[in-house]
Structure 1
Amino acid sequence: MTTPNPLAGTGPRLSSSHGEGDAWWLFRGDGERREVPFPAAPPWRRFDRTETATGDGAPFPRPYLIGPDEVQVVNAALHLRRPLLVTGQPGTGKSSLAHAIAHEMTLDRVLHWPVNSRSTLQDALYHYDAVGRLREASLRRDVDGHDVDSTEPDIGQYIRLGPLGNALVPRERPRVLLIDELDKGDVDLPNDLLTVFEEGEFTIPELARLPASRAPVHVRTDDLDETAPLTRGRVRCAEFPVVVITSNGEREFPPAFLRRCVRLDLPEPDERRLRDIVAAHLGPDALEDVDDLLQEFLARRAEGELATDQLLNAVFLRKGGVNLDAISLLQGVLHRLGGGM
């Protein structure tokens, strides 16, 4: 099926050195105010998708291409109930793999934990808003300190499970958890995860201290408007979640952590796989007259780091009638990720 490109202009073309049509010139840099219609975004940059039963957040299957050897490794992690540690260069589809698994296995929405240098294990497990609960309690007293409302604020309203905590809530079918770029976190974070991964449970101390008569407590989850009942603050999974951990290889992980993971290294796609990716995202017709872009992309990738979605960007513009011969435009789209041009 042909995918029309909204950048293709049908009106009079501007007289310029680039030769693009009027639809290209959203911004002209001439200081004049004009109301221009925005073209449709590329398929991978659309954010108006509605949640579906497939859990991937898209109204149609997202194209994801993976080799048979890599599929074998994914299945090994699923059968062993072990985290899948996915490594590879940027743009090789590490994060998208979690969504592909959720889609094909008809699992719920992917739970996402993007890791940075300040991330801690508790961030992923739960958050307790003690200040908010204290403020609510103070509002129930008048200026003389007497109780206006004798009921105690429900502590469950002030606890929200994080993505990992939500993934461990017992369910009939497991959730998919994407732990993105774990190598950007603190050096001790992988070891902190080991106990949770091995035991499949954790305890919220603020709830464990409550008397037994207060059980269960309904806490908020990482899912919108959903709660989970917890007894004495204990969260223990019935089925270990499908955990996909991505890493750009910025540093090595401890052996104890690696031993508990199934490792998948996604190779950079070759020319044939790149053509398949372009066709999957933009339609088979997108492969016409893009041989020079493919060769330019491969040559630049051999000299420095490039991501596959940069090629998709270039092809999308080319199919919209944009002349990419201008050096500045081509370098802006196919720039090396290491910072050099």
Structure 2
Amino acid sequence: MNDWRIYRGAGLPHDGIRRLPPPPPWRDFAATAPDAGAATDPSAARRLGVLRRLVENHHPRPEEVEAVNAALYLRRPLLVTGNPGTGKSTLAHAVAHELGLGRVLRWPIVSRSTLRDGLYHYDAIARLQDVQLERAGGDGGERRSIGSYVRLGPLGTALLPAEQPRVLLVDELDKSDLDLPNDLLNALEEGEFHLPELERIADREPEVEVLTDDGGRAVIQGGRVRCTTFPLIVLTSNGERDFPAALLRRCIQLDLKPPGEEQLTAMVRAHLGDDAVTDGDALIQRFLDREPGEVIAADQLLNALFLTQHAPRTERVTRDRLAEMLMQPLDRPR
């Protein structure tokens, strides 16, 4: 391909979109790993590499392995901090893949997130509307169970009784408001929560079937959920705020360092194959030689390697300009 550009800025319509190559593996939302089963998280293939080489060939640092094992042994959450792109979220998927713990439950935190969002959602409005429709229809049909209007959140699903622990990723906890870290304390300490809407009718309906966060169904007894096996909860933070001591006391803390040469090479192989390691040696070295304290995420390097593969090798200026655009330090003032 002599011209790698799809959009040319000429203003004349054309069918260049037909030449758009397949997406980068980490942005391919239709692909799954060759060994993926029905219970596999679809995003695991994107995060770990379609060929799974990242978890099979990547050797994490001893402190990372020790922290994960401490969390498993002590049944405590794992609080992982580090710069963006250091693999904090990927760690949860890597553990779930190696230990065969199924798809990862994910709770992405935003400024409006509350503990209730993580535990369950009760759609009282939908229930009221259905009751009104039934009364207006006057057909005397069987009324839907209250469980049809209850859906457990990712944390609520992780706390369901199970023989093996589920893996829950609570992503970017530092994005939450000031109350959420403290609100989490009781659920993390006791491993249980209650649903008042179901407790009020427990004498009439002691068992209620509800939806779970991953699309399944679970039976809630007496309006309470209590885990039998504490889940592996991975809390991630970019270090943008401090957490209360009460939360830190309940967590195993891990500060994830940026990937070194061995981890970086494994990551590139997992997503782009062996040729990318050889062809992109200069960019990989540029990433490793960045200034101390300069924040460049590993996925920025992957983006640069992927895109420069499509630019003709004869256009060295274009390739360098693309790499410069995609690998700008995240902490550089704009």
The TM tier, using the shorter chain, reads: 0.7 to 0.9
Aligned mate of 1:116, from 110, 122, 139: 110
CA contact 2:212–2:218 (8 Å) conserved in 1: yes
Residue 47 of structure 1 pairs with residue 47 of structure 2: no
Work out which of the residue numbers 303, 306, 309 in structure 2 matches 1:316: 306
1:325 paired residue number:
317
Q: Is the 8 A contact 2:109 2:173 kept in 1?
A: yes
Alignment match, 1:28? 8
User: CA separation in 2, counterparts of 1:318 and 1:75?
Assistant: 39
| One-letter code aligned to 2:74 | L
Query: Counterparts in 2 of 1:245-284, with a 5 A limit?
Result: 245-284=235-274
Partner of 1:176: 167
Distance in 1 of aligned mates of 2:291 and 2:302: 14
Taking only aligned residues, the RMSD between alpha carbons, in angstroms, comes to 2.1
Q: Distance in 1 between matches of 2:185 and 2:194?
A: 15
Q: Secondary structure at the match of 1:172?
A: coil
- Contact kept in structure 1, 2:202 and 2:223, CA below 8 Å: no
8 Å contact kept, 1:156–1:218: yes
Partner residue of 1:161 out of 132, 152, 163: 152
Higher helix residue share = 2
Secondary structure of residue in 2 paired with 1:218 = strand
Pairing 1:1-341 to 2, within 5 Å after superposition: 9=1, 13=2, 22=3, 24-35=4-15, 36-50=18-32, 52=37, 55-57=40-42, 58=45, 60-61=51-52, 63-64=54-55, 65=58, 66-142=60-136, 147-149=138-140, 151-224=142-215, 226-300=216-290, 302=292, 304-322=294-312, 323=315, 325-326=317-318, 328-338=321-331, 340=333
Change (3 A) 1:271 1:105: closer
Question: 1:318 touches 1:324 (CA, 8 Å); kept in 2?
Answer: no
After alignment, is 322-331 or 201-210 more displaced?
322-331
Query: With structure 2 as the length reference, what TM-score do the two structures score?
Result: 0.88
Of 51-60 and 64-73, deviating more is 51-60
Q: Distance in 1 between matches of 2:316 and 2:232?
A: 42
- Report how far residue 150 of structure 1 moved: 5.9
Which residue does the alignment assign to 1:17? none
**2:168 & 2:67 partners in 1: Cα distance?**
17
Change (3 A) 1:219 1:81: same
Cα separation, 2, equivalents of 1:196 and 1:62? 35
Gaps of 5+ in 1: 1-8, 14-21
Q: How far, CA to CA, are the matches of 1:324 and 1:309 in structure 2?
A: 22
Report sequence identity in percent.
52
The separation in 1 between residues aligned to 2:94 and 2:262, in whole angstroms, is 21
- Code of the residue aligned with 2:263 in structure 1: it is R
State the AA in 2 paired with 1:184: K
Q: Is 2:52–2:270's contact at 8 Å kept on the other side of the alignment?
A: no
Residue-by-residue CA offset, 1:153-188 (whole Å, 9 max, x unaligned): 311000000000011111111211000000110112
Query: CA offsets, 1:64-117, max 9 Å, x none?
Result: 432233111111111111101111111110001111111111112110000011
- Measured after TM superposition, the shift of residue 240 of structure 1 is 0.4
User: Secondary structure of the residue that 1:134 maps to in structure 2?
Assistant: helix
Q: Report the CA distance shift for 1:79/1:276 in structure 2 as closer, same or farther (over 3 A).
A: same
Q: Give the Cα separation in 2 of the matches to 1:211 and 1:205.
A: 10
Contact 2:280/2:305 (<8 A) preserved: yes
Determine the C-alpha separation between the residues in 1 that align with 2:205 and 2:263.
57
> Which range moves more in the overlay, 272-281 or 156-165?
272-281
SS in 2 for 1:315: helix
Which AA in structure 2 matches 1:279? Answer: R
Asked if the contact 2:199/2:224 (under 8 Å) is kept, the reply is yes
The 3-state SS of whatever aligns with 1:171 is coil
Displacement, 1:325? 3.1
Separation in structure 1 between the aligned mates of residue 290 and residue 13 of structure 2, nearest angstrom: 38
Residue 87 of structure 2 aligns with an amino acid whose one-letter code is G
User: 1:339 Cα shift?
Assistant: 5.4
Question: Which structure's CA Rg is the greater one?
Answer: 1
**Deviation at residue 270 of structure 1 after TM alignment:** 2.9
Cα distance in 2 for residues equivalent to 1:190 and 1:44: 30
Conservation of the 8 A alpha-carbon contact between 1:176 and 1:244: yes
